[in-house]
Amino acid sequence: MFTLHEMPGWGSAIIELQLAHYGLPFDLVETGDVFQDAEARARLAAINPLAQVPTLVLPSGVLITESAAITLYLADLTGRDDLVPGPQAPERAAFLRWLIFIVANIYPTFTYADVPTRFVADGGAAAAFRERVDLYQKDLWRQVAHAVGEAGGPWFLGPRFSALDLYLAVMTRWRPREDWFAVEAPGLLAIAKAARDRQSIAAAYARNFP
């Protein structure tokens, strides 16, 4: 049994969808709001010093964090390539490129802008910092949208469904929100909505985004 430390609608949803897709057995432990609740943060920090979700405990008791690492690990564990193209697949290079692009570039914009006063003490400066980060994030999404448009659809990698589509299913619910995607990156939003409807993840998605 896997144990996923999570908060509904947060980054842990990306991993919950993968666990559900693979049909792996898992328990959920809701962490509480680690930004607003010091006790919740301390509880999670006891096992993951960054106090971030997703935090996944394997059946062996080994801890694994970082969504990209978990994505690759679950594919290896199951021996399946339906979410992660295999080493010889023509889509492998693009998958790895954009997986790391998302987690190394886009995902940190939420880390910095969700609670900007963690990084910029002055309130006025923190507000300006968040505005700049949000603008930068939109530019990053436009880069993704351009690349996905060139792939030709209907999925992130073109004809092949992958874990990247599950990332979109979740992350298009976050800033800058669906209304922005509908105007600025409609192809990404269309992929996200199609991924949400897949039977293997529909129930997990509805739990995170009722």
pLDDT tens across the length of the chain (210 residues): 999 999 999 999 999 999 999 999 999 999 999 999 999 999 999 999 999 999 999 999 999 999 999 999 999 999 999 999 999 999 999 999 999 999 999 999 999 999 999 899 888 999 999 999 999 999 999 999 999 999 999 999 999 999 999 999 999 999 999 999 999 999 999 999 999 999 999 999 999 999
Do 76 and 108 have their domain in common? no
Q: Is residue 209 part of a domain?
A: no
pLDDT on residue 162? 98
Q: Is residue 206 part of a domain?
A: no
pLDDT on residue 163? 98
Task: Write the CATH number for 76.
Answer: 3.40.30.10
Domain boundary among 29, 54, 80: 80
pLDDT on residue 123? 86
Task: Find out whether 83 and 73 touch, Cβ atoms under 8 Å.
Answer: no
Task: Find out whether 50 and 31 touch, Cβ atoms under 8 Å.
Answer: no
Do 105 and 134 have their domain in common? yes
What is d(CA 149, CA 147) in angstroms, rounded to the nearest whole number? 5
Domain extent, residue 75, equals 2-80
Number of domains in the chain: 2
Q: Is residue 144 part of a domain?
A: yes
Q: What is the DSSP string of 57-111?
A: E-TTS-EEE-HHHHHHHHHHHHT--SSS--TT-TTHHHHHHHHHHIIIIIHHHHH
pLDDT on residue 210? 97
What is d(CA 26, CA 19) in angstroms, rounded to the nearest whole number? 7
Do 132 and 171 have their domain in common? yes
Domain boundary among 51, 80, 109: 80
Do 73 and 118 have their domain in common? no
What is d(CA 87, CA 127) in angstroms, rounded to the nearest whole number? 44
Task: Find out whether 83 and 118 touch, Cβ atoms under 8 Å.
Answer: no
What is d(CA 204, CA 210) in angstroms, rounded to the nearest whole number? 10
Measured in whole angstroms, the distance separating CA 38 from the mean position of its chain's CA atoms is 24
CB atoms within 10 A of CB 14: 25
Q: What is the dihedral of CA 167, 169, 191, 112, to 10 degrees?
A: -60
Domain boundary among 60, 80, 100: 80
CA-based nearest residue to 102, from 200, 16, 171, 17: 171
Do 26 and 49 have their domain in common? yes
Do 138 and 169 have their domain in common? yes
Sign of CA dihedral 156, 161, 163, 168: positive
Residue written as token pair 């290079």? 93
Q: Is residue 49 part of a domain?
A: yes
Q: Is 46 exposed, middle or buried (0-12, 13-18, 19+ CB in 10 A)?
A: exposed
Do 32 and 112 have their domain in common? no
pLDDT on residue 121? 87
